[in-house]
Amino acid sequence: MTPIREGFLREAVPGAFVGLAAGLVAGGLAALVGQPLGWALVTTVALGLPLGAFGGLFSLLVAAGRLPAGRFAPVALFWLAAFPLARLIHEITVSLVLAGQFRMPADLAGFLAYQGIVSLGWAIGFLWLHERIALRLRVRATASR
């Protein structure tokens, strides 16, 4: 792999990891409350992949200097747009896989507004985890030089 591409991928790791971990937790919780294992797996993938992709994008924007690191307002604004979209992808994917139908939430505006509110809590946890993971990766990279 070329050094530029390797560096690009390394920069995306903290955010992608947080998003993928959130999908894993959501799937685990679905299984814990009694959903069939296949349904829990669908939740893991359908939520983890979009959150991981948006998390990786966030990390890349920080690495490129487009978003400041460690500040809540830019993180909150980013997730105000990205989290409702990730949840919408999750809802549509789950209905496609489990019911075989393309279904949008009945009250799309209400769904997106609620997810926007929830996104602030997600942004707090995301920022906290992202900063810790990114810091550890930077320390490891510096130590290995």
- Of 8, 24, 32, 29, the C-alpha closest to 129 is 24
Gyration radius from the chain CA atoms = 16
Which pLDDT score is estimated for 4?
53
> What token pair was written down for 1?
């792999």
Task: Give the span between the Cα atoms of 123 and 67, in whole angstroms.
Answer: 14
> Which contacts (CB < 8 Å, 24+ apart) does range 136-144 have?
137/10, 137/13, 137/14, 141/10
Which pLDDT score is estimated for 132?
87
Task: Give the span between the Cα atoms of 23 and 20, in whole angstroms.
Answer: 5
Which pLDDT score is estimated for 13?
87
Task: Give the span between the Cα atoms of 57 and 53, in whole angstroms.
Answer: 6
Which pLDDT score is estimated for 75?
95
Which pLDDT score is estimated for 86?
98
Whether 19 contacts 52, CB under 8 Å: yes
> Along the 145 residues of the chain, how does pLDDT read in single tens digits?
555 566 677 888 889 999 999 999 999 999 999 999 999 999 999 999 999 999 999 999 998 889 888 899 999 999 999 999 999 999 999 999 999 999 999 999 999 999 999 999 999 999 999 888 877 776 676 677 6
Angle between helices 108-143 and 37-63 (to 10 degrees): 60
Q: What is the full DSSP assignment across 41-92?
A: HHHHHHHHHHHHHHHHHHHHHHHTTSS-TT-HHHHHHHHHHHHHHHHHHHHH
